[in-house]
Structure 1
Amino acid sequence: MIQLKKISKTFHTKTKKVHALKNVSLEVKKGEIFGVIGYSGAGKSTLIRCVNLLEKPTNGEVYVNGSKLNTMSAEQLRETRKKIGMIFQGFHLLKTATVFDNIAIPLKLTGVPKREIPNRVQKYLAVVGLEDKQDVYPDQLSGGQKQRVAIARALSHEPEVLLSDEATSALDPETTESILDLLAKINREFGITILLITHEMHVIQKICDRVAVMENGEIIEQGNVIDLYSEPKQATTKKFINSLFPSDLPDETLKELQKRGPIITLTFVGSSAGKPALSMASKKFDVHANILSGNIIQLKDKPFGRLIAHLEGEPEETNKVRQFLANEGVQVEEVSFDDN
């Protein structure tokens, strides 16, 4: 549905060139929710704005639903953009217009027949749960309600693609949850392809099918969400994932424990997350297992868990435990503190 081929974007300031994107290639499949995550300055906002050519790439090709946007005339691009909705962190609502008019005015400007506009507005306000707010003004709405109006406005053009530019960053956690649930519902019920950017791992784990990690204008890693959580390759990816599984134990304490046996990280994916594998291993072998920290989170389709545990026992027995856990579908990695 979306293809970015070797996209580069260079900005020129008075004193230097800024290479915001460097030879980025990305493909988003029809009907999926694809997330792009990165820290501030990674280039993700520039990337998403290149999809609908709000930012024109310095080099590279942009395809949406098989059509190459780079070579389109201004009129062709306007028509194509009707099928590419976009929602922003800052809502971009007209303060002096009612909720109804905030949705109706863009429809009128893009040539939707006048008689059709009220039905469209009411239909998509119902989708976002705000059918009773059409006559109020944005200042009378909460942040979450404003974002719902912005989503309804984007949906009213009946797009095939929805771009989300940090749509939940300005919202509190509870409201963020409700907006993510809404985006998942839109994807599920309307089949709209969603490309979103974020700096929050929770957004990725909650609704995304696949994810790309950006750093310094480049995609450093991408793939299915479950695969990146299970086996992250890059330091930045590991840092994002580790933020979901904090350990407050000081290294000195862990080093002392390590003298009596290995400290291991256990990663549980899918059905293995529900097994008492560590407890089973403790009973089966002559090893005392102590859980030091851990958490289980829910990805879009399956649970994912990570524990840090200390195994106290003879090396032969702790090795048997590690092999047993691996046979039970648990990923096992020993924690090393030699370099600390």
Structure 2
Amino acid sequence: MLIQLHQVSKTFQSNIQQVEALREVSLKVNPGEIYGIIGHSGAGKSTLIRIVNLLEKPTSGHIDINGVDLTRLSPKELREIRRSVGMIFQGFNLLKTATVEENIALPLRLTGLSHQEISQRVEKYLAVVGLTDKKQAYPAQLSGGQKQRVAIARALSHEPKILLSDEATSALDPETTESILDLLLSINREFGITILLITHEMNVIQRICDRVAVMEHGSIVEEGSLLEVFSDPRHPTTKKFINSQFPQSALSLLSVDEQDGQPVLELSFVGAVTDQPILAEVSKQFQVSPNILSGNIVPLKNAHYGKLIVQLLGDREETAKAVAYIKSTGVKVEELKGGEAHASLL
């Protein structure tokens, strides 16, 4: 099921001032993909995801689901299309006085399903989220991760084509977050459900998303496939999110005497090139000694992305050859610091 937003803006009016939460946002989510929107607090993410199913009405612009403009629907027509859109929240939104079974069943009763069909769906989706044995438990008896699994089962029980995730893992510890992300991946693959999620956590984006949009001050400042955005970030906010996954610059580890005019390079690896022994080849083919100062490799959904801070020790001619070789392998090279003798290497 295709989601499209066309020039969507949202302004909130108070007695004191107007707040532009969204500014002419346009995006397209393809059927069956996991699309992530990342931004800092106040960027407009939550407003945007609530606009997708018209929980929040836009000030201007259009929201299309499978070619149907939601802003033109009657209340009855909107209720019908909302049945194809499930939503999970950071705060779980479970009824404290209802059991796990009742939390899933109650919304289904409102849709007019038979008792047998409701029972079948409760059993089915509790099995999907791995909580069959918790059917008679109350929310207070569950961990945070289990509560979120119940919320996911409740959303899935309506058998939606789209699942909206509003910071669904931000209240969870890292280990539980990983298990919820694995569950979302499994749901996407098994049922073909399109997932649109918002988060402020880069590890969520890199772990499960196919494409990503970066938001700031109510606008999308960068968008693309996960590999595109990681390998060639353009906007400063995007770069900050990506750099948060890597150690701080190691330049401070080098004294002035140690630098001695030798270039310090940031090498960015993406995809298959991360598995190649490039620096080993450099030391074999050229009279250069790579001095690795820091680095890290982070897993993406279908690939890996890595960064190394490297000082190349050698004369100007050999160093230039080594840099040219590294770039020829597909590694992105950026000179962070170096002496005058190496100023024109890149």
Regarding TM over 0.5, the answer is yes
1:98-177 pair list within 5 angstroms: 98-177=99-178
- Name the counterpart of 1:19: 20
| Identity rate, percent | 61
Partners of 2:288 and 2:231 lie apart in 1 by: 26
- Report the CA distance shift for 1:97/1:231 in structure 2 as closer, same or farther (over 3 A): same
Partners of 2:50 and 2:248 lie apart in 1 by: 37
Deviations 1:188-246 (A, max 9, x none): 00000000000000000000000000000000000000111000000000000000012
Deviations 1:123-160 (A, max 9, x none): 00000000111111000000000000000000000000
- Name the counterpart of 1:76: 77
Partners of 2:253 and 2:305 lie apart in 1 by: 28
Stretch of structure 1 that moved more, 156-165 or 300-309: 300-309
- Name the counterpart of 1:30: 31
Partners of 2:273 and 2:216 lie apart in 1 by: 32
The 8 Å contact of residues 210 and 225 in structure 1, kept in 2 or not, is answered as yes
Partners of 1:37 and 1:14 lie apart in 2 by: 30
How far apart are residue 186 of structure 1 and its match?
0.3
Partners of 1:55 and 1:210 lie apart in 2 by: 24
Read off the aligned partner of 1:245 and give its amino acid letter: F
The 8 Å contact of residues 99 and 139 in structure 2, kept in 1 or not, is answered as yes
The 8 Å contact of residues 10 and 58 in structure 2, kept in 1 or not, is answered as yes
Read off the aligned partner of 2:95 and give its amino acid letter: L
- Report the CA distance shift for 1:337/1:163 in structure 2 as closer, same or farther (over 3 A): farther
Corresponding position: 1:244 with 2:241: no
Deviations 1:101-133 (A, max 9, x none): 000000011222222100000000000000111
Partners of 1:102 and 1:63 lie apart in 2 by: 30
Aligned length: 338
Partners of 1:248 and 1:327 lie apart in 2 by: 24
The 8 Å contact of residues 262 and 338 in structure 2, kept in 1 or not, is answered as no
The 8 Å contact of residues 255 and 337 in structure 1, kept in 2 or not, is answered as no
Q: CA RMSD in A?
A: 1.4
How far apart are residue 273 of structure 1 and its match?
0.4
1:1-340 pair list within 5 angstroms: 1-247=2-248, 249=250, 251=252, 253=254, 257-336=258-337
Deviations 1:32-73 (A, max 9, x none): 000000000000000000000010000000011221100100
Where does structure 1 lack aligned partners over 5 or more consecutive residues? none
Partners of 1:256 and 1:60 lie apart in 2 by: 59
Stretch of structure 1 that moved more, 193-202 or 263-272: 263-272
Q: How high is the TM-score relative to the length of structure 1?
A: 0.97
| SS of residue in 2 equivalent to 1:182 | helix
Read off the aligned partner of 2:246 and give its amino acid letter: F
| SS of residue in 2 equivalent to 1:70 | helix
| SS of residue in 1 equivalent to 2:72 | coil
